Structure 1
Amino acid sequence: MADNNNRRDPNRRTVLQTLGAGALGTLGVSGASDAVEASPDSSTHYHNELYGQHFPDPTIHRDESGTWWAYGTNMDRDDGADDSEELLVPILRSDDLHDWTYVGEAFDSRPGWTYGSVWAPDIHYDDGEWVMFYSLEPRPWESGEFGIGLAKSDTPDGPFTDYGQVLGDEETGGGTIDGYFVEYGGTPYLFWGSFQGIFVAELTADLRDWKPATRQQVAGEAYEGSTVFYRDGYWYLFVATGTCCGGYDSTYEVEVGRSPDFFGPYIDPSGTDLRTYDEHNAGIAQLTGNDRFPAPGHGDVTVDDAGDYWFVYHAYDRDDAEFIDGVPARQFFLDRLEWTDDGWPIIGGDKTPSLQSPLPNAGDSGAGAVPNGIYRIENVNSGKPMAVTAAGTDDGDTIEQSAYDGGAHQHWWVEHVGGGEYRLMNQNSWKALDVPDGSLDDGERLTQWAWWTGTMQKWRFIENDDGTVRIENHNSGAVIDVADASMADGADIVQWSWNGGDQQRWTLSLIETIDPTTDGRPW
């Protein structure tokens, strides 16, 4: 895929863990750019996909002991059994949110109110019980009605006892799958819908029936796969749109609306009411596919020990595919939610599935440690600041070091953008420091480019042991480096794997503090 500037999105992305930025000092340790190790290890990072078998429509909940439990749509058995013998809601568990173990099936036998496949489970803990709403797809597809059922268990690993259908197409008019349970103000509610509108209605106290007179529409016919949660004054509604199940050509993606009112209206980042959308992919995607991982969507939200929000979802993997009866499997993914200054979630850092990310529970999504402002960013080895070559103002102009002369091309607006990450905007051009085409290569010369939120434009300040910082790219995991440890004016600024050399150590000198809420920004 390409962004609006016709630049290639990377096929691989990495999200490197920040250790935090403290005092910005001036001392350093010698070194050279010849020790290459670009890939973070499993002690600090996890890799998508998390579970390499068929696990669509994941739902997640954490028990009181701290263990996470995830549940997925039916999948064909891979042990040679008859194709009609599907897993009756597979269950995974994890103590850390990234290493997952298969536990078994939620049901001992198929729910009996209609013979069909069990889809899109939704798990919650309510009033001392594990509560699962699930969808049934009738067989054959040409007959019967879709509906949502209820099952409960005393333990997260089941077996779940089925209580039958709660609501169905005959009552609702269609699209009655993909339930999502929320207790609001002490009253139980269920969201549901699939390309015939997303609705919410009150449930009875025992959760076994619904109250049709309370039904309200919250999103249009473009959507299915609802997820609803509350954060900082807003209710957020995640919805899936596009095609989910056609293999690598699927167009699934995730959109979001929010509202201060539980019942809506849910408004997307463009200011549009989600109820107005009636075509697939009509709105603004907060998670969309990339070259390797097509069709991400239909997931759930959880919060880790550090207070970070995470989205579990399914997607395809072109490079590490599993197949079910010759069809690519939808596999289990995890990505962190980052938040804009005005409270909109961005999934995966650049709205696409990540290949690898910092481990959950690390607590790297807090406020930025470097105050927003304009800085001179000076190399410890040469004593010279980072600058745009020839004070250029065009996309693609290169970055060099040069003796300080006070020019705006040597000054950088540093702004925290969430998740412990920053953008570095040149004061002369108001373009962002960028790794061309998301390159992962050591020695890639840095450039400037108009800000477009890509991970290759996001940086982390990591405190060294001498009070200096290294500046690490979100996408590649490499740090800003002066090529060949040069002392010369005009020496290239590149990215290189961290090796501790002085040419990779930097100091920040604050020139001017600017409050973007009052002074504004020119981009």
Structure 2
Amino acid sequence: MRSYLFVLPLIYLFLTACSNGNDLNIDDEPSDENKNSTYNNPVVPTSLPDPTIIKAADGYFYLYATEDVHNTPILRSDNLTDWKLLGTAFTNETRPNWEPNGGIWAPDINYINEKYVLYYSLSVWGGGNTCGIGVATATKPEGPFTDHGKLFRSNEIGVHNSIDPFYIEEDGKKYLFWGSFFGIYSQELNDDGLSIKPATTRQVAGTAFEAVYIHKKDGNYYLFASVGSCCEGANSSYRTVVGRSENLFGPYVNKNGEPMLENHYEVLIEGNDKFVGTGHNSEIITDDKGSDWIFYHSYLRQNPNRGRVLVMDQVHWVNGWPEITGQSPSTENSLPVFE
């Protein structure tokens, strides 16, 4: 998703990192009797928009985000709640440069062919015709990442505002989904995951959406996306929404059977008294107890200058649909279980 670079959150993030050995902790610690069983939101009270997460071979979770931290921040955790800033995916010398002055937005991390593969958007604000999606690889989740350049630009693929990539494999084939308010599209990739197969583009959802993520569960596919304005502080209208299909490429529909191709959806997460602008969710992570967890970003309604902080909530499955308790961010929640 598109992003301005927030100076205040950036300064705060590095001050926080330096003050406690790079551990990024929550604002409000739970009481002594609860601190071993609960966590507070935001999980990280500094700007980490558009999170993507992977559990690596070393057993740690790694999280990447839009570069409010220049060159794309990388964080690590063993429990999803205590995060350490490791560094960045790129340096000033190695960062992608095929879109001059472009920001690296909305990364998507994967493990493909024994490499960590990071798809990313590269764009300037308002550059919907020349922005596009590129790819970088590393042998370790903490990098360093080597950029392989662009997969395509908007004006090359014929989809305006081509950002927000998401990778998925199905029946031995590799696909990239993407899009931002001009349709959600899919594209088949070659076996290396580093290049596209021509003439394989298809539309799967309408023009209300961006920040696609697809989750497969019990024979159904769930297309998560975001609607509304992402980046207007306390005035942001961003919400996380979802539709369901029996096929990877749709049709995705809401509970009434109305198609996402016609911009219908179910609301999963929206703001409340504390949080506003809740969107661009991560992959769903399952803990050792079998509970599902999802990250997304949000502004703090009373302190939007923090930027889009990192929030985590449990996903409950009710009658074949994902739900977040209260349909909005929690303030305090039980910890994920990792043995």
Same fold? TM cut 0.5:
yes
Aligned length: 305
Alignment pair present for 1:131 and 2:117: yes
Pick closer, same or farther for the CA change 1:175–1:143 going to 2, 3 Å.
closer
Alignment pair present for 1:284 and 2:266: yes
Deviation at 1:211, TM superposition (A): 2.3
The Cα offsets for residues 400-430 of structure 1, whole Å up to 9 and x where unpaired, read as xxxxxxxxxxxxxxxxxxxxxxxxxxxxxxx
1:48 corresponding residue in structure 2: 41
Please state whether the residue corresponding to 1:272 is helix, strand or coil.
coil
Of Structure 1 and Structure 2, which has the larger fraction of its residues in strand? 2
Alpha-carbon distance between aligned partners in 2 of 1:234 and 1:143, rounded to the nearest angstrom: 32
Alignment pair present for 1:346 and 2:323: yes
The Cα offsets for residues 324-378 of structure 1, whole Å up to 9 and x where unpaired, read as xxxx4001110010011x210002x111000010000279xxxxxxxxxxxxxxx
Alpha-carbon distance between aligned partners in 2 of 1:290 and 1:359, rounded to the nearest angstrom: 21
Alpha-carbon distance between aligned partners in 1 of 2:239 and 2:33, rounded to the nearest angstrom: 28
Deviation at 1:38, TM superposition (A): 8.9
Please state whether the residue corresponding to 1:52 is helix, strand or coil.
strand
Q: Is the 8 A contact 1:302 1:311 kept in 2?
A: yes
2:294 corresponding residue in structure 1: 311
Alpha-carbon distance between aligned partners in 1 of 2:140 and 2:31, rounded to the nearest angstrom: 43
1:91 corresponding residue in structure 2: 74
2:203 corresponding residue in structure 1: 217
1:145 corresponding residue in structure 2: 130
Please state whether the residue corresponding to 1:350 is helix, strand or coil.
helix
Deviation at 1:218, TM superposition (A): 1.0
Alignment of 1:362-511 (within 5 A): none
Q: Is the 8 A contact 2:128 2:162 kept in 1?
A: no
2:142 corresponding residue in structure 1: 157
1:296 alignment partner, one of 262, 278, 282: 278
Please state whether the residue corresponding to 1:255 is helix, strand or coil.
strand
Where does structure 2 lack aligned partners over 5 or more consecutive residues? 1-29
Alignment of 1:200-279 (within 5 A): 200-277=186-263
Pick closer, same or farther for the CA change 1:266–1:40 going to 2, 3 Å.
farther
Q: Between the two proteins, what is the percent identity of the paired residues? A: 39
Larger Rg: 1
Please state whether the residue corresponding to 2:199 is helix, strand or coil.
helix
Q: Letter of the aligned partner of 1:291 in structure 2?
A: D
Please state whether the residue corresponding to 2:194 is helix, strand or coil.
coil
Q: Is the 8 A contact 1:54 1:322 kept in 2?
A: no
Q: Is the 8 A contact 1:53 1:322 kept in 2?
A: no
Deviation at 1:92, TM superposition (A): 1.0
1:104 alignment partner, one of 82, 87, 90: 87
Q: Is the 8 A contact 1:240 1:253 kept in 2?
A: yes
Please state whether the residue corresponding to 1:88 is helix, strand or coil.
coil
Q: Is the 8 A contact 2:128 2:154 kept in 1?
A: no
Q: Is the 8 A contact 1:202 1:214 kept in 2?
A: yes
Please state whether the residue corresponding to 1:202 is helix, strand or coil.
strand
Pick closer, same or farther for the CA change 1:38–1:122 going to 2, 3 Å.
closer
Q: Is the 8 A contact 2:112 2:193 kept in 1?
A: no
Q: Letter of the aligned partner of 1:337 in structure 2?
A: V
Where does structure 1 lack aligned partners over 5 or more consecutive residues? 1-36, 77-86, 364-523
Q: Letter of the aligned partner of 1:49 in structure 2?
A: P
Alpha-carbon distance between aligned partners in 1 of 2:226 and 2:250, rounded to the nearest angstrom: 18
The Cα offsets for residues 294-327 of structure 1, whole Å up to 9 and x where unpaired, read as 01110112211122111110001134x363xxxx
Q: Letter of the aligned partner of 1:121 in structure 2?
A: P
Deviation at 1:39, TM superposition (A): 9.0
Pick closer, same or farther for the CA change 1:142–1:44 going to 2, 3 Å.
closer
Q: TM-score, normalised by structure 2?
A: 0.86
Please state whether the residue corresponding to 1:299 is helix, strand or coil.
coil
Alignment pair present for 1:332 and 2:320: no
Alpha-carbon distance between aligned partners in 2 of 1:172 and 1:40, rounded to the nearest angstrom: 55
Pick closer, same or farther for the CA change 1:312–1:142 going to 2, 3 Å.
closer
2:156 corresponding residue in structure 1: 171
Pick closer, same or farther for the CA change 1:270–1:136 going to 2, 3 Å.
same
Q: TM-score, normalised by structure 1?
A: 0.56
Please state whether the residue corresponding to 2:110 is helix, strand or coil.
strand
Alpha-carbon distance between aligned partners in 2 of 1:317 and 1:344, rounded to the nearest angstrom: 27
2:63 alignment partner, one of 44, 57, 70: 70
Alpha-carbon distance between aligned partners in 1 of 2:206 and 2:185, rounded to the nearest angstrom: 9
